[in-house]
Amino acid sequence: MAQSMSDTNRKLPILWIVLGAAASVFIVLVLWGKITWFSDQAPVEFLPNMDHQFKAIPQSGSKFFSDGRTQRDPMEGTVARGSTVYPLGMGDVDKAESFNVNPHLEKTEFLMSRGQNRFNVFCSPCHGYDAKSNSKVVERGPWPGIPDLTREQTAALSNARIFHIVSAGQNLMPSYADKISPTDRWAIIYYLRTLQGVEGTDSNAPTVAASNSSTTGSAQ
């Protein structure tokens, strides 16, 4: 009795195991979302997570915005990554003298305090609040050659040149063109002039001799 049962059991299971395995694979695949093999319907999703959400697809229309456009204009003052925000290179110091024209913004109390605020935020970490480079970065060093901006040779730089240094950077000093708007850069310069105690010239017009490359370095 026991012998005959095990005989039939031995034949049947192979068929059932094969069929069972095929069925399980099929069910698993259907549950996995492969239903699209034989159906136009969306796959069954047990955990859709964030697959379906209200989102803006490029070049599509939108019912959300009153003008029906999905694509929005960039916010004022935003700068796209990798875009050219200041066209001159670090070494174009001669061009900068005529390129950067002081807009002579009215030095209102607001503008001057804006300049001070931006200077304190962006420049003081290296150059110090008083521009004499008594800063945390200098204190903790080693960061070579952060100059005292109130020294005579820096005070003698034209507004156009300082605008150029802030916009293009100079040697180890990075460019701030993508971080500080042009108006704020001028406000910083006006404020820096008060720290230097000088009026400052707008431009030192380029001369033939000025093509000397030493004008780009900290030797200047």
Residue 168 sits in the site that holds ligand HEC (CB under 6 A): no
Interface with ligand HEC includes 122 (CB under 6 A)?
yes
Alpha-helical runs (H) found in 108-174: 109-118, 124-127, 136-140, 152-155, 159-168
The answer to whether 96 touches 177, Cβ cutoff 8 Å, is no
**Which residues, 6 or more positions from 168, have their beta carbon under 8 angstroms from its beta carbon?**
86, 88, 89, 90, 92, 96, 175, 177
CA distances from 83 to 80, 86, 173, 186 (A): 5, 9, 20, 21
Identify the residue among 93, 96, 160, 166 touching ligand HEC (CB under 6 A): 166
| Closest separation in Å from C-beta 108 to ligand HEC | 20
CA 167 – CA 138 distance, rounded (Å): 22
Identify the residue among 93, 96, 138, 149 touching ligand HEC (CB under 6 A): 149
Between 88 and 137, name the residue whose CB sits nearer to ligand HEC: 137
The CB-of-122 to ligand HEC minimum distance in angstroms stands at 4
48 or 217: CB nearest ligand HEC: 217
Distance of closest approach, residue 107 Cβ to ligand HEC, in angstroms: 17
In the block, which residue shows the tokens 């609040």? 129
Return all residues near 194 (Cβ < 8 A) that are at least 6 apart: 112
Q: In the complex, what is the shortest distance from the CB of residue 131 to ligand HEC, in angstroms, rounded to a whole number?
A: 8
Supply the minimum distance, in Å, between the C-beta of residue 155 and ligand HEC. 9
98 binds ligand HEC (CB under 6 A): no
Contact residues for ligand HEC, defined by CB under 6 A: 122-123, 125-127, 137, 145-147, 149, 153-154, 162, 165-166, 170-173, 176, 188, 192, 217-218, 220
